[in-house]
Amino acid sequence: MRLNWRRSSRAEDQLEKWFLERYQEHVLAGDTTPPGPHPDEDFLRSLARKSKQIALSDPRIEHVAKCQLCMSRLPALRQEVKARRRKVALAVASASCLVIIAVVLLIARSSFQKQSLANNMAVVVRTVNLWDAGTLRGAQPGTLQSVSLPADIVRVTVILPRFSPPGQYLVAVTRSQNGEGLLAEGQAVSATSGDQERVSVELDLRSAKAGQYFLSTTHEQDQASYYYPLQIR
């Protein structure tokens, strides 16, 4: 944009120089009587703009090159043209700046939204295998089985202990082994995979401080809950 403007400004300098040279030639030749009447202001302005529509064969060019009055109007008109171009260039530049700023803000906002969405929706997937914990039912189930989950939103798939019946299960995280201090829970119908029953629930553990908890499973029909020590990191 700026380069263009400079280039056309140089062209006008050349045009002015060209007129000046023609005028000097005419003065030296003693031929300073301009042919025809003074061309109108619009024509002079076109000259100042170095409009390509003007042919050098135009008789008004010959007039201007010989007329001191018309020649003296040219620099003033050129200043006008320059000032207008500068104004347009400035307007375009500030408009471009605004567009760039708007685009940058939009990109920043959308990536911020994506980021915060990702932060909020990040779901950690974990599998908890209690397959062998079943043999310890009723005794001290936790001693052999230790489960660890992060303090996130966790999509946890529990592989239920051997011989667990299919059906709806409640999976919960509590602070104590008697079911008190409920932190999170989720219900789902188990899915059979080979010999195994698996139940997948989403547990929001974001509010949990790192420490010892209990993970429990409760079948919808036999209301007994089984607790397994859970470490939240």
- The site for Zn ion (CB under 5 A) is made up of 38, 67, 69-70
Judged by beta carbon, residue 70 or residue 74, the one nearer Zn ion is 70
Judged by beta carbon, residue 38 or residue 162, the one nearer Zn ion is 38
E-state strands within the chain: 123-129, 147-149, 153-159, 168-174, 182-189, 191-193, 196-204, 211-219, 225-232
CB of 68 to Zn ion, least distance (A): 8
Judged by beta carbon, residue 73 or residue 198, the one nearer Zn ion is 73
Closest listed residue to residue 136, CA positions, set 212, 226, 213: 226
Judged by beta carbon, residue 69 or residue 139, the one nearer Zn ion is 69
Residue nearest to Zn ion (CB): 67
CB of 81 to Zn ion, least distance (A): 19
CB of 59 to Zn ion, least distance (A): 12
Tokens 């050349």 map to which residue?
14
Judged by beta carbon, residue 76 or residue 144, the one nearer Zn ion is 76
CB 170 within 8 A of CB 217: yes
CB of 1 to Zn ion, least distance (A): 34
Residue 85: is it exposed, middle or buried by C-beta count within 10 angstroms (0-12/13-18/19+)?
Answer: middle
CB of 34 to Zn ion, least distance (A): 5
Judged by beta carbon, residue 71 or residue 171, the one nearer Zn ion is 71
Judged by beta carbon, residue 49 or residue 60, the one nearer Zn ion is 60
59 CA to centre of own chain: 59
CB of 54 to Zn ion, least distance (A): 15
Residue 153: is it exposed, middle or buried by C-beta count within 10 angstroms (0-12/13-18/19+)?
Answer: middle
Q: What's the token pair of residue 210? A: 């790192």
- CA dist 97 and 103 (Å) reads 10
The H or E element containing residue 6 is: helix 2-28
Closest listed residue to residue 227, CA positions, set 127, 124, 130: 130
CB of 52 to Zn ion, least distance (A): 22
